[in-house]
Chains A and B, each alone.
Chain A
């Protein structure tokens, strides 16, 4: 992408489409999953055409998610490797929350919070996928599973689901709180000022590459 004055490219169109597909599927999974999680939320099944439809669609949405998430994982994993400065950033989480950026180490493409979200999502989705395979009603492999395994899978599935929803709330809130972030995922670009304030090391690296 040709750089417009004052902006720099953060996500390609492919990455953005991949992200939003993943987001839609994750939200549908959360809604259909929560519908069966607690009686007080069963009304959410109406969004899917009733309980039978919600129970039927949920596992297939899970299969779709593992595909879209694999796309995101292989795009971004190398930028999410934990570094020493990330630990330092994490230790100064109070400064982060108070937006005292001047006290924080310079951040590369992703900060420690974003990396944590990335890895927690990855682990939770793997847990959800494998426990979901065990919980899935009717597929042929079910005959080889014991009821004990299914019960364990139910507990793992519900726990991982609660964790991923909380992580998702953190992810969403960060995007709302830190102004200028959302355009990275809608138009693919951020301003130079946003990069200077939040990802200074990344800004320097991108600037050093020169215009594309």
Chain B
């Protein structure tokens, strides 16, 4: 992907200066209502079609997941979970996995290449391949294990939330293709309102733990789920309960970094001050005489 001219960059990776920002775009969101999903994979096919992605034909690993994991060519994936409930009945849960477009993106925090990961003012987090150096730090930064490094171009890839479509007023390809309106797209405010109506409906039908997945640990996300069992997101193919940027990533990319640089600078400065105060440590003529006498004795 390249940056979208008609979308304004709000945050840019490895950039200490703030990008120009005047437009106040409305945050957008994709809502995935898991309770409405029939597992048809039309979203996967639409994603391939729109983004011109063709993954390798793989192998059946014994479940419906196909391919078995996200790849650089499969930016979205239906994950099927068979969950046996305590009362004995079986829940067949299907979750469309892909980039969550965090408000506080771990990938962007970890990225060392200026402008390789950007966040538009509407909330979409996009990888700008032209600036990507293929280091794989985004993989370490992401709390959802989403980015994949391509073996073909050695760059990171993931769902763009169809930023190219959104930029021209279209909805993402997956939402367009979904036959049951399990995937919808609009302003985040509207999607939350829609989700609340759905949740009320689900609760009425006995799913009293139904709820919205918009995890606050990453500042909320621009891809949200309606879950029947929002109290146990982990049963949906290990959707993290309280995702946040790992403390290790914060330590790696946060305040210790400038402190470490200052420490390096200080070490060099101490050297400079020492030299200027004390001068060079020279060998005197007396030392040479004594040294040579010892050498002469040995000979």
Contact = CB atoms under 8 A, between A and B. Distances in A.
A151 B295 contact: no
B263 A39 contact: no
Contacts of B285: 193
B290 A162 contact: no
Max chain A C-beta neighbours (<10 A), residue from B14, B248, B284: B248
A2 interface: no
A158 B252 contact: yes
Interface residues of B, number: 54
Interface stretch (A61-69, A74-82, A84-92, A163-171): A163-171
Interface stretch (B23-31, B54-62, B93-101, B267-275): B267-275
A20 to B, nearest CB: 21
B291 A37 contact: no
Contacts of B154: 52, 137-138
B145 interface: yes
A151 B263 contact: no
Chain A interface residue bracket vs B: 35 or more
Contacts of B281: 99, 177-179
A210 B145 contact: no
A177 B75 CA distance: 58
A150 B139 contact: yes
A73 interface: no
A155 B251 contact: yes
B264 A169 contact: yes
Contact of B280 (A3, A56, A179): A179
A40 B140 contact: no
Given A38-B261, A179-B283, A192-B291, A154 B252 contact: yes
The B interface is mostly helix, strand or loop, or mixed, namely: helix
Max chain B C-beta neighbours (<10 A), residue from A155, A180, A193: A193
Nearest to B150: A138
Contacts of B16: 39-40
A193 B283 contact: yes
A197 B289 CA distance: 11
A121 to B, nearest CB: 15
B271 A208 contact: no
A42 B274 contact: no
Contact of A51 (B133, B251, B261, B271): B133
Nearest to B139: A147
